[in-house]
Every structure is written in C-alpha cells, then in structure tokens.
Amino acid sequence: MRCEIIAVGTELLMGQITNTNAREIARELSALGVGVYYQSVVGDNEKRLKEVFALALQRTDLVILIGGLGPTEDDITRDAVAEELNLPLEKNEFWEKTLENFFGKRLRSMPEVNRKQAMVPRGGELLPNDRGTAPGIYIEKQGQIVVLLPGPPKEMMPLFQSQVVPRLQNRLQSTGELGVLQSKILRMVGIGESSLASKIKDILDRQSNPTIAPLAKGAEIHLRITAFASSTREANNLIEETAAEIKAVLGNYVYGEDNENLEMAVAKLLWEKKKTVALAESCSGGYLSHRMTNISNSSGYFKSGLVTYSNPAKTEILGVAPDLIERHGAVSEEVASEMARCVRRLNDAHIGLSITGIAGPTGGTPEKPVGLTYIALETEQGLSCKRYEFWGSRREIKERASQAGLYLLRLYLLEA
C-alpha cells in the first residue's frame, strides 16, 4: 500500500512549528508494511489544499491529512476533502451531543462554530477524540482510504494508534498486503559517496527487496537497507544477507550500524584491545575530547585531553621545544608529531594523538590556508602524521578534524 501524508497549516510552512506528526505516523505505518511515498505540507488555503489532495489521490492508495479540523474559519480540511471526494457533509448527532457535554461540564455553552466539528463526509466514519474537540474521520471510497486527523500531537497519535491502525491492519489482512518494513543503517567513514557507489555498483544495480539508499551525513556516508516481508524475522534476514554482502565489499569502511557513532566504535576497540589514549588538541578546541568522553565508562581508556591552543601552552604544558614552533610554525607536521609524543609520555598512555590546524575564517595564508590541519598519532609501534585540508565553517572544520582523528585511531586499533 502506498501512502501520502499531508500536513495542513500555514504555521508549518512558516517554520513556527516542526512537523513531527508525519515522522511519527511514518514510523507506525512502516510496522504495517505501508510505504510512505510522499509527504506534503500545505497552508490554510482551500484551493491549494484541494490541489495537493487531488494529486495525492492520483498517486497513492492511502492519504492521511493532519490538521485543519478545528472550529475556526481557517480550519478547512474537512470541507476541502468532502468537496474533492464529492461527498456531502452530514451531521453526526453523537459527536454534536459529545461536544455539548464537553462544554457543559466546563459550565459553558457550546459556541456555534464548534458544531462544524460534528460534520462528517457521507459514508465516512467518525473517530472519537477523547483528548479534544476535533474527531478523526476514516473514509473508504473506490478502493482508496482517506484519513483525517487532528493536528495537536497529544491528540493525533493516540487516536491514530488506537483507531486508525486497527482499521488499516484489517484492510491489509483482507488484501494480503499486511507485512512489515524494517530498516538498518550501515555507517561508513573514510570513503566518499561516489567511491562507495562505484564499489557496490553491482549490488545497487540489482536491488529490489531490500532496497539500498546512500545518505551523505557530514563526514560520513550511511547506507539505509530497507526490506518488506510478512514478518519482522523474515525482513531482518533479508536485511542481514544484503548487509553481509555490502560489508564483504567495503570491509573496514563500515564501522557501525544504526545508532552506533564513530566514537562508540572506537571506544569498543579501545576496551577490547585494552589501550589508553591521551589527546593534545589545538584547532579542534577539545572537540575530540568531548566526543570521546561522551561514552559511559570512558575513564577506562581516556587518560586526558589537553587543549594547548596557544604556542606557550604547547611549550609550557606539553613540552614542545619553542625553536621547533619558531622554525616550522604551530601548524606543521613537525609540531603535530611532537605534540603527540609529548602528550603520550606525560600521561603514560598507549596512544598519543594530536591535532593542530587553522580553523578560520581568518589566519590562513597562501602557504597555510584555512582548513590546513595536521593530525599525528604516536604508539609503541611508532609515529605517523597526516596532512588534511578541510573546508567549511569554523565549526565544521573542528568537527571534520575530530572525525579524522577518530578515523586514524580506529585504523590503528583494528591492526593493533
């Protein structure tokens, strides 16, 4: 079953509130095996709403509209849907009485404008809302399903879960379409999107079920693998087969799955290898230390993180020779290497890692542009230093430097 979710409200288009409703509904639908093919947002304009709704009817089997069911003039969803489906609105006596009781319990008479909330397109089923005055509406016409839901999340989700989901389950069961959509994310680092696509081209070319979608995520690439099956176990088996095939091709570029970030992957290796690390950061300003200590029990591997931002800090705290900085500059392979050596010895750590660079937006020269960064790693096996030219804002350069540091650390630990 193909679905389109239409969120109604000018406040959504203006960015005054975030459309979390569509996200939550999409998650619920995936558990039924219903694919959300489109999501639309339209303001409180009847003409435009009708246009969006008419298009949704042309291309999907299930249309879910959220919002615009209140009592005021700009609440137009009910009327627009009724007109587009050519179904006259009829009063639901039960809900009108419910509304009267609702206001009566609050010692108020019901405003006349609220009576429109008891109107339902002919043949539609009113879905009582026990958290507000706007009921949901469920309509089946010519094999298609149209669902109208109130906008407030605290009203929308309980109503959707308790009343819409069971109806959809029954419909899907009767048509043999009931199933589940499951997804897994593979996380990759150290490879670009085009290179990744080239390496797994054969797998991408023959994908059907599961489907594979590459997603660029900052300094990482994620692959979302999605499978449809009659059961969660069957879907997961399909996903695992494809994931194993991808991992066999990409090898160590794949560092984690789903919510496992790079710092967690590195932490697991440090625990496994029983290694400790100490950091000396300059341009990254402690960002890498922050990431590595976000992990619970990081004290088991993290010795210290020193932010030696100024040249005096590099010499007085770490012990880098002043003449080394004078000869080569603070942003250099030589200084980065010495920072890694010094921080390792100061902390008696298995690994010393340093970062020095120019985060910008000022401070760059033709010889040493903004983004130039050196990252050095010293271990019992020796020392290595990498040169990078990162791009982006100051914050982005700091983030990319920390990502590169974690990547170098991971590569070392995989071979240690």
In terms of Cα–Cα distance, which of 293, 295, 322 is closest to 310? 322
Tens of pLDDT, residues 333-391: 999 999 999 999 999 999 999 999 999 999 999 999 999 999 999 999 999 999 999 99
- The answer on 350 and 276 residing in a single domain is yes
**Structural domain ending residue among the three candidates 120, 155, 175:** 175
Which phi and psi (to 5°) does residue 150 adopt?
Answer: -65, 155
Query: Encoding tokens for residue 219?
Result: 């300094």
Contact 166, 174 (CB under 8 A): no
pLDDT of residue 219: 85
Show the domain range for 353: 262-415
Query: Encoding tokens for residue 346?
Result: 């100061």
- The answer on 269 and 215 residing in a single domain is no
pLDDT of residue 217: 86
- The answer on 402 and 268 residing in a single domain is yes
In terms of Cα–Cα distance, which of 260, 266, 251, 262 is closest to 196? 251
pLDDT < 70: residue spans in the chain: none
**Structural domain ending residue among the three candidates 230, 257, 284:** 257
Query: Encoding tokens for residue 189?
Result: 């680092």
Strand order in the sheet with 277-281: 302-307, 277-281, 351-357, 372-379, 382-389
Q: Is 296 exposed, middle or buried (0-12, 13-18, 19+ CB in 10 A)?
A: exposed
- What is the C-alpha R_g of the chain? 29
**Structural domain ending residue among the three candidates 224, 257, 290:** 257
pLDDT of residue 209: 96
Number of structural domains (the chain) is 3
pLDDT of residue 411: 96
- The answer on 391 and 321 residing in a single domain is yes
- The answer on 119 and 240 residing in a single domain is no
Contacts of 328 (CB under 8 A, 6+ apart): 334, 335
- The answer on 285 and 202 residing in a single domain is no
pTM, 2 dp: 0.78
- The answer on 192 and 278 residing in a single domain is no
